[in-house]
Amino acid sequence: MSNKKNAVERITFIVLLVGGEKVVHTYDAPPTLKEAEKLIKDMGHRIGTSLTNKKGVLLWFSNPNICYNPDNVLGVQFGSITEGQMKKAVAEAKKTMGYVKPESSD
């Protein structure tokens, strides 16, 4: 959304299922605040519509693409990841995987 360290990089929705599972759906943040607000509003409408006991209305998300039977959904958590958090997570993953870039000894 911008080049600031605290700009939102990813938007996540975590679907909580009756069996205790959690499924994470991740979206790239839209480039503008207006588009991000629209995405969140549209997702909120989609979630609300499917979870208000309307028969035949499935709850669906992308990344991964899954359609849920609303009877199996306890709730949906919303979150976001900032650019700084993303860089830190990538750096930690690279360390764990052994991809540490050698530091120069200048």
Q: From CA 12, how far away is CA 99, in angstroms rounded?
A: 26
In a domain, 105, yes or no: no
The whole-number average pLDDT for the span 29-45 is 86
In a domain, 14, yes or no: yes
Q: Counting every residue, how long is the chain?
A: 106
Question: Cβ of 15: how many Cβ atoms within 10 Å?
Answer: 20
In a domain, 82, yes or no: yes
Asked if 23 and 100 touch (Cβ cutoff 8 Å), the reply is no
Q: Which of 100, 81, 74 is nearest to 25 (CA)?
A: 81
In a domain, 102, yes or no: no
Which has more confidence, 56 or 12?
Answer: 12
The pTM of this model reads 0.67
Extract the tokens encoding 51. 């979870």
In a domain, 51, yes or no: yes
In a domain, 56, yes or no: yes
Range of the domain at 24: 8-97
Look up residue 104 and give its amino acid.
S
In a domain, 22, yes or no: yes
| pLDDT tens column, 49-103 | 888 866 778 888 988 899 999 889 999 988 887 777 777 877 777 766 555 566 7
Number of domains the chain is built from? 1
In a domain, 17, yes or no: yes
> DSSP readout, 55-69?
TT--EEETTTTEEE-
